[in-house]
Amino acid sequence: MSRKIVIVGAGVSGLTLAERLTSSGKDISVTVLEKEDSPGGLARTFERDGFLFDIGPHRFHTSDTDVNNYLLEILGDDHVTINRSSNVYMAGKYRSWPLTMKSVAGLPLPVLFRSFLDLFRSKSEVEHPTFADYVISKYGMNIYNYFFRGYTEKFTGCSADTLHIDWAEAGVNRAVIDKNVKADDLFSLLKSVLIPKTVSTTFYYPSYGGIQTFCKKQAQRIQNSGGRIIYGCRALGLETESGKVSGVKTADMGIIPADHVYWSAPVSILFPDAGFKFMDTLLCNIALSKQQNNHYQWCYFGQEDMLFSRLTVPRNFRSDTVPAKADSLIVEITLNNPEHRDNPDILKDRLIQQLESVDALRSSDIIFMDWRIVSQTYPLYDLDYRKRLSDLVLPNGLELTGRCGSFWYNNMDHSIGEALAISSGRTFSKDFWK
């Protein structure tokens, strides 16, 4: 009898693992369980009236040769290569990110002067550093207060001194994306501004549809190789016998038998009392009748009074993500208020006013505003999260994987790399921020 493998979650991690296992030629049966009605997980694409909206600025960029080869294998000729163009909104202006001399020159002189003084202040060591301690030690109190604190507390809904240092090491450093640009402390950040390297970061994007095209191609290959994907199937937990996995409990199909389970759904489903917390995101996908003046692909907003933390412009990924002469915006709002979950439309007027204030759109050009709640978009690294992970006792035959399953704040390329390693029996380090 073939070995029964069940993969919970049809996101990028689960799909990559399933695709590699089904194409391996081994005597195994592979079943993927997915609660949504289509593949992709956090890499899904919403479509309405000819407008395509990804869940944020998804794209493929990697320095891992195996991951790069896999991306090209799945996409084939159905991809385009795009130069990166990202911004940060600071001091009332859009500035290129990573920062350049030109973008920094326009910052208020007091901000520049205080940051210069921070270079010469001694940095105190903290025994158990938090996110706040890390950023202050690396960039100084001025930049911490000017940007990182407000952005982080708005984005996470948590005080910066209650977040684990890993949130900074994973999130702040990785925001630069290109490893040729050093910005891991104030000195290297200023050096990259004063003596910039010529950097042109490129990434892959599907040549039709949105980012979900990649996942749909994976799903098709899984099914062509004899694998099974069951949509609309919500996993509730595991069935075990003598400390070993024997199946997956579901809400709609009873118990799905399994000899081995790879769990990429939120780990909090398996361990509801362990205290793992995730952030939820409210998306407002806005269709616009005319092109606006947004030249970036995505932009960060750290202002505490702004509802949103990031904007994405699909047209600047690929022009046909919108109808001819039209435009769109993807607005990301961290969902901290239960009232906003039940009735997001109460934010409409305030959101439009704020978007107009940063020249992101003209209200007269809005065709529709489509609200979407995306649950468990980011694991939340509180001060005790590592202990919670180390205290987990997993039954034999269970492996946690992916962003939500292993509670790992990663990108798609990291999830793919991890899945490729698992499928070939290799180990994979999750300390990518090192």
Residues 302 and 361 in one domain: yes
Both tokens of 48, joined, read: 């309405």
Residues 13 and 111 in one domain: no
Residues 335 and 404 in one domain: no
Q: Regarding beta strands 398-400 and 260-263, do their DSSP bridges make them parallel or antiparallel, or are they unpaired? A: parallel
Average predicted confidence (pLDDT) for the chain = 88
Question: Looking at residue 76, which CATH number applies to its domain?
Answer: 3.50.50.60
The 3-state DSSP class for residue 332 equals strand
Q: Domain range for residue 152?
A: 86-194
Residues 235 and 320 in one domain: no
- Residue 310 pairs in a beta bridge with 300, 332
Residues 229 and 325 in one domain: no
Question: Is the residue at 69 inside a domain?
Answer: yes
Residues 282 and 361 in one domain: yes
* Average pLDDT of span 188-206: 65
- The C-alpha atoms of residue 136 and residue 323 are separated, in whole angstroms, by 45
In the chain, the number of structural domains is 3
Residues 371 and 405 in one domain: no
Flag whether pLDDT at 319 surpasses 60. Answer: yes
Residues 150 and 129 in one domain: yes
Flag whether pLDDT at 184 surpasses 70. Answer: no
Residue 133: pLDDT band (50, 70, 90) is confident
Give the H or E element holding residue 167: helix 165-174
Residue with tokens 């007269």: 364
Question: Is the residue at 50 inside a domain?
Answer: no
Flag whether pLDDT at 198 surpasses 60. Answer: no
pLDDT (0 to 100) of residue 349? 97
pLDDT (0 to 100) of residue 100? 57
Residues 261 and 398 in one domain: yes
Lowest-pLDDT range of 36-50, 153-167, 231-245, 309-323: 153-167
Flag whether pLDDT at 282 surpasses 90. Answer: yes
Residues 101 and 127 in one domain: yes
* Average pLDDT of span 174-196: 50
pLDDT (0 to 100) of residue 189? 54
Crossing angle of helices 165-174/131-143, nearest 10°?
A: 50
pLDDT (0 to 100) of residue 337? 86
Name the percent of the chain lying above pLDDT 70.
85
Residues 93 and 173 in one domain: yes
Read off the pLDDT of residues 327-342 as tens digits, 9 standing for 90 and up: 999 999 999 888 899 8
pLDDT (0 to 100) of residue 301? 93
Domain termination site, one of 172, 194, 216: 194
Domain termination site, one of 142, 163, 194: 194
Residues 92 and 141 in one domain: yes
Both tokens of 155, joined, read: 């984005």
pLDDT (0 to 100) of residue 126? 63
- The C-alpha atoms of residue 417 and residue 66 are separated, in whole angstroms, by 7
The conformation of residue 394, written as its DSSP 8-state character, comes to P
- The C-alpha atoms of residue 311 and residue 284 are separated, in whole angstroms, by 10
Cβ partners under 8 Å of residue 259, min gap 6 = 3, 4, 5, 245, 397
Name the percent of the chain lying above pLDDT 90.
68
Q: With CA atoms as reference, report the closest residue to 214 among 32, 59, 403, 22.
A: 59
Question: Looking at residue 339, which CATH number applies to its domain?
Answer: 3.90.660.10
pLDDT (0 to 100) of residue 177? 42
Question: Is the residue at 356 inside a domain?
Answer: yes
Question: Is the residue at 432 inside a domain?
Answer: no
* Radius of gyration, CA atoms only, the chain: 22
Give the H or E element holding residue 341: helix 338-342
* Long-range contacts, 2-5 (Cβ 8 Å, 24+): 2/27, 2/28, 2/29, 3/27, 3/28, 3/29, 3/259, 3/260, 4/28, 4/29, 4/31, 4/257, 4/258, 4/259, 4/260, 5/29, 5/30, 5/31, 5/258, 5/259, 5/260, 5/261, 5/262
Question: Is the residue at 428 inside a domain?
Answer: no
Lowest-pLDDT range of 185-199, 273-287, 403-417: 185-199
**pTM for this one?**
0.90
Both tokens of 32, joined, read: 């993927």
Can you say whether the dihedral through the CA atoms of 166, 178, 415, 403 is positive or negative? positive
CB 268 within 8 A of CB 287: no
Question: Is the residue at 53 inside a domain?
Answer: no
Number of H helices, E strands in the chain: 15, 19
Rounded to 5 degrees, φ, ψ at 89 are -95, 110
- The C-alpha atoms of residue 207 and residue 79 are separated, in whole angstroms, by 4
Residue 353: count other Cβ atoms within 10 Å of its Cβ.
11
Q: How many CA atoms lie within 13 A of 25 on its CB side?
A: 0
Flag whether pLDDT at 42 surpasses 90. Answer: yes
Question: Is the residue at 364 inside a domain?
Answer: yes
pLDDT (0 to 100) of residue 188? 58
CB 334 within 8 A of CB 309: yes
pLDDT (0 to 100) of residue 119? 54
Residue 181: count other Cβ atoms within 10 Å of its Cβ.
18
Flag whether pLDDT at 163 surpasses 80. Answer: yes
Domain termination site, one of 136, 168, 194: 194
Question: Is the residue at 419 inside a domain?
Answer: yes
pLDDT (0 to 100) of residue 127? 66
Residue 177 one-letter amino acid: I
Read off the pLDDT of residues 81-101 as tens digits, 9 standing for 90 and up: 999 889 989 888 898 876 555
**Strand boundaries in 27-136, DSSP class E:** 28-34, 45-48, 51-54, 79-83, 86-90, 93-97
Flag whether pLDDT at 353 surpasses 80. Answer: yes
Residue 121: pLDDT band (50, 70, 90) is low
Read off the pLDDT of residues 366-396 as tens digits, 9 standing for 90 and up: 999 999 999 999 999 999 999 999 999 999 9
pLDDT (0 to 100) of residue 118? 57
